[in-house]
Amino acid sequence: MHLDDLLKPYYQYGHLHYGEGVTELAHALQAAQLASVAGEKNSTIAAALLHDYGHLVHGLGENIAKQGIDANHETVGADTLKNWFPASVTEPIRWHVAAKRYLCSTEMEYFEKLSEASVVSLQLQGGPMNRQEIEEFQSRPFSEEAVRLRRYDDRAKQPEANTPGLDEFKPILLHLLPQ
């Protein structure tokens, strides 16, 4: 698959909102930029850029959480992207919602910092984790990366943020694609 085909959903649907004050594309670019500035590996930067890919390809429209629907965008996105990217990209994407649930259970102040849309979706996604879920999450490969990704996700909702364009991240994605 050509990279532009993979990124086509951003060109088609990146202007949509998903309940936050930024578009899908702006959110993705902010998350990737935050990961890049933090010095993350290319796989984590790619995961940050693509973490909500499932929102763009699930076909359920905008703001579905307000309709009481959990589209499992994390699984949809990871499953779609696993055909092109290694687990170091797709698994943090798969577990970034679980990371939100984990952080709500392990850091008391974390929940208070969630956006309104994240609070709504949290309830649809199972709410804070119980002790057994916490232990299972911690034992998963890429759980630490998923937590870092989650933190970039949470911070990547600034309407006035100035980010590089999608083209700036193409070399990172190309490097991770199978040759």
Report the CATH number that the domain containing residue 20 is assigned in CATH.
Answer: 1.10.3210.10
Q: Write out pLDDT tens, residues 17-76.
A: 766 788 999 999 999 999 999 999 999 999 999 999 998 886 555 555 555 545 568 899
In a domain, 172, yes or no: no
Looking at residue 55, what is its pLDDT?
85
Query: Average pLDDT for residues 2-6, to the nearest whole number?
Result: 89
Q: What is the pLDDT of residue 17?
A: 75
Does residue 129 carry a pLDDT above 90? yes
155 found inside a domain: yes
pLDDT band for 116, please (50, 70, 90 cuts): confident
Q: Which two tokens stand for residue 171?
A: 């070399």
The answer to whether residue 2 is domain-embedded is no
Strand partners of residue 4: none
- 83 pLDDT more than 60: yes
* Choice between 71 and 134, residue whose per-residue pLDDT is larger: 134
Residue 169 pLDDT level (bands cut at 50, 70, 90): very high
Looking at the chain, the number of H-run helices and the number of E-run strands are: 11, 0
Residue 132 counted as domain residue: yes
Number of separate domains in the chain: 1
Contact 94, 117 (CB under 8 A): no
d(CA 161, CA 147): 22
Q: pLDDT at position 114, please?
A: 86
Domain range for 33: 16-167
Mean pLDDT, the chain, integer: 89
Which comes out higher in pLDDT, residue 113 or 17?
A: 113
9 alpha carbon, distance to own chain's centre? 15
Is residue 174 in some structural domain?
no
**Domain annotation covers residue 43:** yes
User: Residue 4 domain-assigned?
Assistant: no
Cβ burial of 107 (10 Å; 0-12, 13-18, 19+) is exposed
Which whole number is the average pLDDT over 112-134?
87
**Interval 78-90 mean pLDDT:** 95
Residue range 145-164: mean pLDDT, rounded: 94
N residues, the chain: 179
Provide the CA 96 distance to its chain's centre, in angstroms: 6
Cα separation, 66 vs 37, in Å, equals 33
- Whether 1 is in a domain gets the answer no
